[in-house]
C-alpha cells in the first residue's frame, strides 16, 4: 500500500491544466447523455456497470460535439468532413480507446496556443485513435510501439503538470512487465470468481492498463498508480513492486475508483476551495488540496467495500483473506480520517455534497474498528 497515487482532473486545483491550456479555447467535456436507465445514482459507492455505461456515453457524446467545434475553430471541418462524420458515428456507438481522450487534450492545448499553429496532424491522430478497439485494450507497456511516440509524449505530459514534483515514468524491465502482467491476470481471475459484479465494473472503468516504472531510484519518483480525467478508461500502474493477487485487486479498485469519480465529476467541480489550501491527506504524507482529499476518501471507501465483499464471498484462501482484512483496515482508517478533514475544511458544491453524503452514509453504517 506504499507509494504515491496520482489523480488529476481538469477541475482539480492542483492539476495545472488552466496554465497548460490557456484561456482561448474552452475545454468542454461536461457530462451530457441520452435518457440512459441507471438503477443507482452516479455517485453511489456500490458497483454498477449500467452507471459506468451512462457516464461513458455522456462523455463520448460531449466529445463528439467538442471535436466538431474544434474542427471549425481550426478550419478543418470542410477538409475532414467525412472523417468527422465517421468519428461522430464511432463516439455515438460505444466505448472508444482512451487514446481518443488523450489526443483530444493535445488538440485543445495546441488550439489554445498563441499564435495558433497547424493542428491537422493531431486532429488526424484523434481520428486514427478512434479506429482502435474501445472495449478492452488489455495490458500495454509504457512507451511501446502499440502507439506512436508522440502519443506517449502526450500521455506523459498529462501526469507531469506539477512543477514542484516532476513525474517522469519510464518503461519497466521486461521481467517486471511480465511478472506484473501475470499478477494482474491472477488478480482479475480472483476478483471475477469472488465478486463478478465489482470485477465487471472495474473492467469497464479501466479498459487499458499501462505498466510503467519510476524514472529514477529517487524515492520522490516512486508511485503506485496514476489516473487522470484525460485518459478516461485507462490507468498507469508501477510494474516494479511485487504484489499479491489480493493486493492487485486493491490497486485496480483504487485506480478505477479515481476514474469513476472523474466521470461523476465531469459535470463540474466537487469543491469551491482554493487550490492554494493544503490539508492532511489520508493516503499521502504531504498535505494536499481538498479536492485530492475528497478523491482519496472516495477511493479508500470503495477499496474497503471491495475488500469486505471479497471476504464475504468465501472465495479467498486464508492468506488472501488476511491481506484483504489488512487492506480493509488500512483503507477504513484513511477514509475516516478523510471524512474528518472534509467535514472541517471542504466547501462543497451541490455535486460534491452528494458524493460526500454517500461517504458519510457508508461510514455511519459501519462500526468503527
Q: Tens digits of per-residue pLDDT, 230-276?
A: 999 999 999 999 999 999 999 999 999 999 999 999 878 999 988 78
Range from 108-112, 187-191, 339-343 carrying the lowest mean pLDDT = 108-112
pLDDT of residue 222: 87
pLDDT of residue 42: 92
pLDDT of residue 37: 53
pLDDT above 90 (res 279): no
Range from 34-38, 127-131, 224-228 carrying the lowest mean pLDDT = 34-38
The pair phi, psi for residue 358, each rounded to 5°, is -65, -35
Range from 66-80, 174-188, 340-354 carrying the lowest mean pLDDT = 66-80
pLDDT of residue 287: 74
**Helix (H), strand (E), coil (C) string for the chain:** CCCCEEEECCCCCCCCHHHHHCCCCCCCCCCCCCCCCCCCCCCCCCCCHHHHHHHHHHHHHHHHHHHHHHHHHCCCCCCCHHHHHHHHHHHHHCCCCHHHHHHHHHHHHHHCCCCCCCCHHHHHHHHHHHCCCCCCCEEEECCCCCCCHHHHHHHHHHHCCCCCCCCCCECCCHHHHHHHHHHHHHHHHHHHHHCHHHHHHHHHHCCEEEEEECCCCCHHHCCCEEEEHHHCCEEEEECCCCCCHHHHHHHHHHHHHHHHHHHHHHHCCCECCCCCCCECCCCCCCCECHHHHHHHHHHHHHHHHHHHHHHHHCCCCHHHHHHHHHHHHHHHHHHHHHHHHHHHHCCECHHHHHHHHHHHHHHHCCCCC
| Percent of the residues in the chain that have a pLDDT greater than 70, as a whole number | 87
pLDDT above 80 (res 49): yes
- Residue 356 CB neighbours (<10 A): 22
- Residue 347 CB neighbours (<10 A): 11
Residue showing cell 487522470? 228
Range from 50-59, 73-82, 329-338 carrying the lowest mean pLDDT = 73-82
15-24, 274-283, 314-323: range with highest mean pLDDT: 314-323
Cβ-Cβ contacts under 8 Å for 35 (sequence gap 6 or more): none
Domain boundaries, the chain: 7-24+39-364
Decide: 237 and 322 in contact? Cβ < 8 Å: no
The mean per-residue pLDDT over the stretch 23-37 comes to 45
| Angle, in degrees to the nearest 10, between helices 81-93 and 120-130 | 40
Instruction: Report pTM.
Output: 0.89
The mean per-residue pLDDT over the stretch 67-83 comes to 85
Q: How confident is the model at residue 113 (pLDDT cuts 50, 70, 90)?
A: confident
pLDDT of residue 276: 80
Choose between 13 and 200: higher pLDDT: 200
pLDDT of residue 283: 64
pLDDT in tens, 150-169: 999 999 999 887 777 788 89
pLDDT of residue 249: 98
pLDDT above 80 (res 62): yes
CA distance 149 to 130: 17
Decide: 227 and 98 in contact? Cβ < 8 Å: no
The mean per-residue pLDDT over the stretch 182-197 comes to 98
pLDDT of residue 368: 61
Amino acid at each position: 500500500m506504499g507509494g504515491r497515487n496520482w489523480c488529476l482532473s481538469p477541475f482539480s486545483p492542483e492539476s495545472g491544466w488552466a496554465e497548460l491550456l490557456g484561456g482561448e479555447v474552452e475545454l468542454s467535456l461536461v457530462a451530457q447523455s441520452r435518457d440512459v436507465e441507471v438503477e443507482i445514482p452516479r455517485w453511489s459507492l456500490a458497483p454498477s456497470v449500467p452507471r459506468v455505461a451512462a457516464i461513458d456515453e455522456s462523455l463520448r457524446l460531449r466529445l463528439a460535439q467538442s471535436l466538431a467545434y474544434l474542427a471549425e475553430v481550426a478550419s478543418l471541418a470542410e477538409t475532414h468532413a467525412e472523417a468527422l462524420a465517421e468519428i461522430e458515428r464511432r463516439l455515438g456507438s460505444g466505448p472508444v480507446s482512451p487514446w481518443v481522450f488523450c489526443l483530444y487534450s493535445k488538440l485543445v492545448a495546441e488550439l489554445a496556443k498563441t499564435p495558433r499553429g497547424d493542428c491537422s496532424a493531431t486532429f488526424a491522430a484523434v481520428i486514427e485513435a478512434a479506429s482502435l478497439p474501445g472495449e478492452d485494450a488489455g495490458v500495454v507497456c509504457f512507451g511501446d510501439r502499440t502507439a506512436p511516440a508522440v502519443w506517449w509524449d502526450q500521455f506523459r505530459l498529462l501526469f507531469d503538470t506539477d512543477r514542484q514534483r516532476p513525474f517522469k515514468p519510464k518503461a519497466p524491465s521486461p521481467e517486471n512487465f511480465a511478472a506484473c502482467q501475470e499478477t494482474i491476470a491472477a488478480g482479475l481471475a480472483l476478483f471475477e470468481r469472488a465478486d463478478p459484479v465489482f470485477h465487471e465494473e472495474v473492467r469497464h472503468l479501466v479498459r487499458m492498463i499501462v505498466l510503467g516504472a519510476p524514472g529514477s531510484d529517487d524515492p520522490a519518483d516512486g508511485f503506485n498508480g496514476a489516473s487522470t480525467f484525460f485518459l478516461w478508461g485507462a490507468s498507469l500502474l508501477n510494474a516494479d513492486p511485487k504484489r499479491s493477487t489480493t493486493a492487485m485487486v486493491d490497486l485496480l479498485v483504487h485506480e478505477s475508483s479515481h476514474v469513476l469519480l472523474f466521470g461523476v465529476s465531469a459535470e463540474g467541480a466537487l469543491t469551491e476551495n482554493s487550490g492554494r489550501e493544503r490539508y492532511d491527506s489520508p493516503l499521502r504524507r504531504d498535505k494536499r488540496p481538498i479536492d485530492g482529499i475528497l478523491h482519496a476518501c472516495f477511493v479508500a471507501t470503495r477499496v474497503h467495500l471491495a475488500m469486505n465483499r471479497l471476504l464475504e464471498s468465501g472465495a479467498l484462501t486464508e492468506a488472501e483473506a488476511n491481506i484483504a482484512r489488512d487492506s480493509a483496515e488500512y483503507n477504513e482508517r484513511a477514509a475516516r480520517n478523510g471524512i474528518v478533514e472534509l467535514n472541517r475544511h471542504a466547501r462543497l458544491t451541490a455535486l460534491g455534497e452528494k458524493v460526500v453524503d454517500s461517504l458519510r452514509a457508508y461510514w455511519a453504517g459501519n462500526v468503527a474498528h
